[in-house]
Amino acid sequence: MKIKFRIISVISASALTTLMLGSCSPAEDSSGFEYMPDMYRSAAIEPYVDYGEIRGKENKEVKLLLSAKTPPNGTIPYYGTDKDEVSIMLPYHRLATKAFKTTHGMFDAEFSDKDEYALAVSDVNQLKLTSENSELILKDGKTLFNQNCAHCHGKKGDGNGPMVESGAYVGVPDYANLKDLSDGQMFYSIYYGKGMMGAHSSIINKKEIWTIIHYIRSVQDGDYGKNVNSIEVSQADSIQVQ
């Protein structure tokens, strides 16, 4: 009787140990063995889930379809309590012209009858450059530029990026010839697109666009950002929420 009880105890202990070890996983992000996943995992549609591959099962029919849901037009993401940061990230006050509906595919956007690009000449860079932040802003601007712009505009801003050299695009300008273009018009062009360049508003946010513009200015002028005080004084009277 004692022998049978001992055998049963050993078998039970072995089974329990096997179950415990089997529930573990070497993957850092794994939650381990899921006893009843439907009890704590929502079966509802989630906006940022790739439904082309769920729990190791691949569905090629929806693999390349957009699953993330676009927020309702006019909604404002939460950007914290820093008033300067929030001010920069508020919705862009300029609208795309009606022509952009057919040329840049903005079917759900609001449009203007005015030449908003021409009006943007008076807009100034909302990301203030100071002696404390200029180095970091220009560094971040270079990174963002190389990620989003250099493939066409070239790392030197000369309009000879890989896409241009391949023959896919032509007519990309050299930034050296655009020194008279205002920051506002540059922002408008990046945000909504211009010519063959598509809109980047869904790819990079307003702060990132202003950061890129600072970097473009440094490409145009090697001394840009070194004499920060003069920049602040010249723009102090014209800064407004964009």
137 and 214 belong to one structural domain: yes
Between residues 79 and 218, the one the model is more confident about: 218
Pair of tokens at residue 194: 């211009």
Q: From CA 238, how far away is CA 122, in angstroms rounded?
A: 8
Question: Does 74 map to a domain?
Answer: no
133 and 206 belong to one structural domain: yes
Question: Does 161 map to a domain?
Answer: yes
pTM score: 0.67
Give the percent of the chain with pLDDT over 90: 40
Whether the predicted pLDDT of 237 surpasses 50: no
228 and 125 belong to one structural domain: yes
29 and 87 belong to one structural domain: no
Contact criterion met (CB below 8 Å) for 164 and 154? yes
CA distances from 147 to 74, 110, 150, 155 (A): 27, 28, 7, 10
14 and 87 belong to one structural domain: no
Contact criterion met (CB below 8 Å) for 212 and 149? yes
Whether the predicted pLDDT of 228 surpasses 80: no
210 and 114 belong to one structural domain: yes
Mean pLDDT of 54-64: 77
Number of domains in the chain: 2
Question: Does 41 map to a domain?
Answer: no
106 and 220 belong to one structural domain: yes
For residue 226, how many other CB atoms are within 10 A of its CB?
13
Question: Does 229 map to a domain?
Answer: yes
27 and 127 belong to one structural domain: no
Residue 100 belongs to a domain with what CATH number?
1.10.760.10
95 and 198 belong to one structural domain: yes
Structural domain containing residue 188:
83-235
Question: Does 149 map to a domain?
Answer: yes
Question: Does 184 map to a domain?
Answer: yes
Q: What is the pLDDT of residues 171-199, one digit of tens each?
A: 899 999 999 999 999 999 999 998 889 88
